[in-house]
A and B are shown apart, each in its own frame.
Chain A
Amino acid sequence: MKKRIVRWLIRWWIDDDRPSWLQHIVDRDADLQEYERGLQIMSDRLRNEAGEWSERIAASKIDRTDCENFSVLNRRTPSPRQPRLRPAVALAGGLALTLVCLGLARVHWNGSLDEAASKAATRSQQVKKVTDDDTFRAGADSLVVLYNASRRGLIRSVDGIPSMLQSAAHLTNYPSANVTQKARIPFESTSRAYGRAVALVNRSLSDQRKGLANNARSVLHSLKLRLHGLDQDKRADIQPGLEEIEK
């Protein structure tokens, strides 16, 4: 029993500075030293084998079905017997919380408004480092994703994408022969637009192409907004493609 407790304590402090009295106990007992060595080996393995493990995942050498199985395990399905919060209780709770938040906000607001404004101004200046070119590349990347989706038969209804892609590839110096590979985009040429396009593709998978044209149009519309801040020349080049898709 005593050893079990000491083992528990060893595990608790395995990677931290342990108390001297615990060290003293361990030093006097060969079994505990052996146990500690086992834990240390496990810690070393956790450190040393992480690189190989992450490389394996990045290179997709692990079994994808295995991963999918875990998705079933990880995601909890709601129990049908799960009790629901009564509406009146929820309403009262929500009201009370709102009042508390409003009170706090009022107290906080007066003091920190100027500070927040100056911080926001500084931050916006810093964020402007993402240049127009980056924005434009992000647009092109989104188109690449859409193009790939169209090749996979997910968004066939958007016929104008290839021509859009050609002009985008031209403008961003992407070799058009490599456009399909650009779905695995290196970081520096991506932005939130990529995420939106990926979300579109994911939605497409579950929606079975229902309403895909509308989804694609909404993404492209957002791209159009992004492109709005670009140079006149670039915008003029890409405008016809956008109009073609929006028809």
Chain B
Amino acid sequence: MSDVETNDLALLARAGDIGAYSELARRFRPRLLAALCKRLGSLADAEDVAQESLTKAWQHIATFDDQFPFSSWLYTIAFRQATDCQRSIRRRENLARRVKPVEETASESESSLMKQELSNNIWSTARKILTTPQYLALWLRYVEDLSVREIARTMGKTSVGVRVILHRGRTVLQRHLVDFSDDGGSK
């Protein structure tokens, strides 16, 4: 089962094969988590949304159109779920703010964050220095291998917009990698 192409598995799942869908869920769950963690900020929320998305995708697998990649369809569902989740998080935070004022400001946490040692993994760096759309666009491009048009549809943006986001993301990341390697070299 592990050698079967993703879209073939999706077709099997659409025909009612729950084993095929389980395999899809096994493949995509970590990838969804990695993408959603950046978007939602919290791993716990990302886990919930990933789970919900996989569930929702299964419930609506009959509507999957095999002309498009399964990953594009699944990520579209996941991003919509993430939007809903963010709304409820905001409601929760508003409630919490009424009880207890937030002590830490964004800039403080940012500075403390930048002091942390960067991990060797490039995605760890990307998560820290890129904006959420840049991170997600790069993720869909390089990990899910989606075309610019498919990314645009998944993220609800225009193709040109996605090209610009990808370009800026690459620029920031590349500049950071060069700076970081220069710092390392000087040390």
Interface positions of B from 31 to 85, Cβ below 8 Å from A: 31, 33-34, 37-43, 46, 48, 51-52, 54-56, 58-60, 62-63
B22 and A50 contact, CB distance less than 8 A? no
B33 and A70 contact, CB distance less than 8 A? no
Contacts of A202 in B (CB 8 A): 48, 88, 92
Contacts of B37 in A (CB 8 A): 57, 62, 67
A123 within 8 A of B: yes
Interface residues on chain B, size class: 35 or more
CB-CB nearest in chain B for A193:
B55
A67 and B22 contact, CB distance less than 8 A? no
Q: A198 CA to B52 CA in the complex, in Å?
A: 10
B123 and A39 contact, CB distance less than 8 A? no
B186 within 8 A of A: no
CB-CB nearest in chain A for B13:
A129
Contacts of B58 in A (CB 8 A): 130, 187
B29 within 8 A of A: yes
Interface positions of A from 5 to 55, Cβ below 8 Å from B: 11-12, 14-16, 38-39, 42-43, 45-47, 49-50, 52-55
Cross-chain contact of A206 among B33, B95, B112, B138 (Cβ < 8 A): B95
A173 within 8 A of B: no
Question: Shortest beta-carbon distance, A39 to chain B, in Å?
Answer: 6
B59 and A190 contact, CB distance less than 8 A? no
Q: A222 CA to B43 CA in the complex, in Å?
A: 28
A129 and B55 contact, CB distance less than 8 A? no
Contacts of B171 in A (CB 8 A): 11
Q: A123 CA to B40 CA in the complex, in Å?
A: 32
Question: Shortest beta-carbon distance, A121 to chain B, in Å?
Answer: 12
Q: A15 CA to B104 CA in the complex, in Å?
A: 41
Given contacts A67-B43, A195-B52, contact A45 B122 (CB under 8 A): yes
Given contacts A46-B123, A54-B31, A191-B59, contact A206 B92 (CB under 8 A): yes
Contacts of A195 in B (CB 8 A): 48, 51-52, 55
Instruction: Report the 9 A-B pairs with minimum CB-CB distance, sorted nearest first.
Output: A71-B41, A126-B62, A58-B30, A54-B34, A53-B123, A54-B30, A187-B25, A46-B142, A50-B143
